C-alpha cells in the first residue's frame, strides 16, 4: 500500500500556523513512508473562498518548502462528482430527503431548547411515504439529503489518541447535500478522500466530531475508511486556542518579519511532537527520519513566540554569509538601503557584527543603520553619562593616535585602546562607551573595534571629531 496523505485547506483565510503544522506532519509522514503528499483546496463554500487566499496558501507552502506531489485539486471543479454518489447511497436506504424548511426547524429547535433539552434533528421527514415524497418533489419543494444514523456506537482507532468512541444517540442525522445541491464539507471530504485513495487522514483535533459523521458515509459507500490521526490543537500562552487574537498567526507574516523557513518548520514541528531524544534543532531530513505518531502529544501544545525568536536567531547565526546577504537584500531595500551599492566585503562584516543579536531578519537594517548614515542624534542618557569633560578628553587624545594607525584593523584599534587604558589607569568602559556613542549615536551595538574597522579610519576619525 502506498501511503497517500493530503492537506486540505479552505481558502477562506490565509494559511495559519495550525494548518501549516498539519501540512508539515502530513509531509513528514508521506516522505518517511515514500508516500504521496497531496494538496486539495476545499473551496465548496464559494462565497467565502477566494483565489487570492488560494494563492496565499500555495505561496505559504512554497515558502515552507513543503512540496506537494499532486494537486492543487479544487473541490469546486468536482461539484457534480459528489452528487453522482447520491443514487448509490439512496439505494442503501441510509440517506433520506428532508423537506423541513429552516424556519420550521428553527421553531421546533427553539421549543426543545425551551425545555432545556439538547436539539438534534427530530426525523420528521424520515417516515414520509413514497407518495408524500413524490408529491413534494412535483411541487418543487426544496430538500436536503440527510444520513440516517442507526442505533449503536461509532468508534475508530486513532493513531494518536487510540480508540475513540461515541454513542450514536449523540450523532444527528446530518445533512450531506444542501437544498441548492451543493455538498457539505463532511460529504465532499469523504468522497474526495475516497476517490483520491487517501490512506491516512492527518488533521486537527477539532475534526474528531466530523470523523464520527464521516465514518457513516464510508459505511454507506461500503468502503474501508482511511486511518485517522487527530493532532492536538496549538494553544496560545494563555492556553486558549491560538487565534488572531493571540498574535501573529499567518505564515506569511512570519516570513515578512524575517523568520527563516527552516527555523519556522523546525519550530512548528516541535509544537506537539518531539523526537525521543528531545533534540531541539532538527533539519527536515532528520525530522522525516524521526517522525512518528507515537511521539505526538495527545494534549495541545503552546505556541511560544520567545522560543521561535530563540530558534530563529540560532538559524540566523548558522546561516553562511553569502546566503544571509541574499536573504537580507529585500529587508534592507524595504528600509531604504541598497546594500548592493556598497562593498560586499563591508556588508558581510556588518552582517557578521550583528548576526548573533538579530532575532528576525527584519531587525538587521535597524541594527546596522548607523553604518550607512551620518549620526545626527545621540542617545540622551548616553550623552549625560559618557560625553563628560574627562571622558571627551580621553577621546581627544585617542583620535590623534587613531589617525596614526596605518592598518586600521579591529586588532590594531583594540591594541591602541588597551594600551591607552593601561597607561592611564582608567577603565576600558571610560573610553569604549563614549566612542560607541560618538560613532553610532547608541549605547549598545556590535563589537566596538569591529565597528571601527568597518567604518574605516577616515569615517571613525570624522565622527569622533564631530562630537569633540
Q: How far is CA 1 from CA 24, 69, 87, in A?
A: 21, 17, 30
Rule CB under 6 A: say whether 308 interacts with ligand GLU: no
3-11, 53-61, 215-223, 453-461 -> range binding ligand GLU (CB under 6 A): 3-11
Minimum Å distance from CB 227 to ligand GLU? 13
Cell numbers found for residue 193? 478522500
Catalytically annotated residue among 141, 244, 400, 466: 244
5-13, 264-272, 369-377, 397-405 -> range binding ligand GLU (CB under 6 A): 5-13
Rule CB under 6 A: say whether 42 interacts with ligand GLU: yes
DSSP one-letter string for 148-169: ---SSEEEEEETTTEEEEEEGG
Residue span 163-182 as binding mask against ligand GLU, x where in contact by CB under 6 A, dash where not: --------------------
How large is the C-alpha radius of gyration of the chain?
32
Rule CB under 6 A: say whether 4 interacts with ligand GLU: no
Report residue 66: phi and psi, to 5°.
-95, 80
Rounded distance, CA 421 to CA 417, Å?
6
| Known active-site residue 244 | yes
Identify the residue among 95, 177, 189, 399 touching ligand GLU (CB under 6 A). 189
User: Of 48 and 396, which has the nearer Cβ to ligand GLU?
Assistant: 48
**Residue 66, SS3?**
coil
Identify the residue among 5, 10, 15, 196 touching ligand GLU (CB under 6 A). 10
User: Of 4 and 394, which has the nearer Cβ to ligand GLU?
Assistant: 4
Residues 20/64, Cβ–Cβ less than 8 Å:
yes
Bridge partners of residue 156, in order along the sequence: 164
Q: Which stretch of DSSP H or E encloses residue 37? A: strand 36-41
Q: Which stretch of DSSP H or E encloses residue 36? A: strand 36-41
Identify the residue among 21, 31, 146, 207 touching ligand GLU (CB under 6 A). 207
**The pairing of beta strand 144-147 with beta strand 175-177:** antiparallel
Residue showing cell 495541545: 300
DSSP-assigned letter for residue 197: T
Identify the residue among 9, 258, 272, 441 touching ligand GLU (CB under 6 A). 9
Would the annotation count 244 as a binding residue? yes
Q: In residues, how long is the chain? A: 468
Rule CB under 6 A: say whether 203 interacts with ligand GLU: yes
7-15, 59-67, 290-298, 387-395 -> range binding ligand GLU (CB under 6 A): 7-15
Minimum Å distance from CB 33 to ligand GLU? 18
Rule CB under 6 A: say whether 260 interacts with ligand GLU: no
Rounded distance, CA 431 to CA 423, Å?
13
Identify the residue among 5, 8, 159, 282 touching ligand GLU (CB under 6 A). 8
Residue 413 has a CB neighbour count (10 Å cut-off) of 24
Could you tell me which residues are annotated as the binding site? 244
Q: Which residues make up the interface to ligand GLU (CB under 6 A)?
A: 8-10, 42, 189, 203, 207
Q: Which residues are catalytic?
A: 244
Amino acid at each position: 500500500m502506498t501511503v497517500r496523505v493530503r492537506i486540505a485547506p479552505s481558502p477562506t483565510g490565509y494559511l495559519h500556523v495550525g494548518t501549516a503544522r498539519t501540512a508539515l506532519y502530513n509531509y513528514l509522514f508521506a516522505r518517511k513512508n515514500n508516500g504521496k503528499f497531496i494538496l486539495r483546496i476545499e473551496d465548496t463554500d464559494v462565497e467565502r473562498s477566494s483565489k487570492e487566499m488560494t494563492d496565499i496558501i500555495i505561496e505559504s507552502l512554497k515558502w515552507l518548502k513543503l512540496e506537494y506531489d499532486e494537486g492543487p485539486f479544487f473541490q469546486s471543479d468536482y461539484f457534480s462528482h459528489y452528487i453522482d454518489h447520491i443514487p448509490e447511497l439512496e439505494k442503501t436506504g441510509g440517506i433520506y430527503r428532508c423537506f423541513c424548511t429552516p424556519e420550521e426547524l428553527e421553531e421546533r429547535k427553539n421549543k426543545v431548547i425551551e425545555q432545556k433539552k439538547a436539539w438534534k434533528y427530530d426525523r420528521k421527514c424520515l417516515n414520509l411515504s413514497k407518495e408524500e415524497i413524490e408529491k413534494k418533489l412535483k411541487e418543487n419543494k426544496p430538500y436536503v439529503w440527510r444520513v440516517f444514523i442507526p442505533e449503536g456506537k461509532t468508534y475508530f482507532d486513532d493513531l494518536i489518541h487510540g480508540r475513540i468512541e461515541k454513542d450514536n444517540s449523540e450523532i444527528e442525522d446530518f445533512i450531506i447535500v444542501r437544498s441548492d445541491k451543493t455538498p457539505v464539507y463532511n460529504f465532499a471530504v469523504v468522497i474526495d478522500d475516497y476517490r483520491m485513495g487517501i490512506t491516512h487522514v492527518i488533521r486537527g483535533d477539532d475534526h474528531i466530531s466530523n470523523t464520527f459523521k464521516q465514518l457513516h458515509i464510508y459505511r454507506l459507500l461500503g468502503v474501508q475508511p482511511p486511518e485517522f490521526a487527530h493532532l492536538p490543537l496549538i494553544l496560545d500562552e494563555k492556553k486558549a486556542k491560538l487565534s488572531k487574537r493571540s498574535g501573529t498567526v499567518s505564515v506569511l507574516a512570519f516570513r515578512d518579519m524575517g523568520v527563516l523557513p527552516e527555523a519556522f518548520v523546525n519550530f512548528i514541528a516541535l509544537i506537539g511532537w518531539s523526537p525521543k531524544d528531545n533534540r531541539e534543532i532538527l533539519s527536515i531530513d532528520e525530522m522525516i527520519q524521526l517522525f512518528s505518531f507515537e511521539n505526538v502529544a495527545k494534549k495541545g501544545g503552546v505556541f511560544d513566540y520567545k522560543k521561535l525568536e530563540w530558534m530563529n536567531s540560532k538559524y540566523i547565526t548558522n546561516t553562511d554569509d553569502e546566503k544571509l546577504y541574499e536573504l537580507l537584500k529585500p529587508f534592507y531595500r524595504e528600509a531604504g538601503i541598497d546594500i548592493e551599492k556598497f562593498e560586499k566585503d563591508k556588508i558581510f562584516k556588518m552582517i557578521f557584527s550583528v548576526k548573533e543579536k538579530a532575532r528576525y531578519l527584519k531587525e538587521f537594517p535597524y541594527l546596522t543603520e548607523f553604518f550607512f548614515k551620518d549620526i545626527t542624534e545621540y542617545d540622551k542618557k548616553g550623552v549625560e553619562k559618557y560625553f563628560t569633560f574627562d571622558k571627551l578628553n580621553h577621546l581627544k587624545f585617542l583620535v590623534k593616535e587613531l589617525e596614526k594607525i596605518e592598518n586600521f584593523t579591529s586588532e590594531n584599534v583594540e591594541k591602541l585602546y588597551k594600551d591607552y587604558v593601561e597607561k592611564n589607569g582608567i577603565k576600558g568602559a571610560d573610553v569604549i562607551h563614549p566612542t560607541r556613542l560618538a560613532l553610532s549615536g547608541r549605547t549598545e551595538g556590535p563589537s566596538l573595534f569591529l565597528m571601527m574597522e568597518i567604518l574605516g579610519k577616515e569615517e571613525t576619525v570624522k565622527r569622533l571629531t564631530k562630537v569633540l
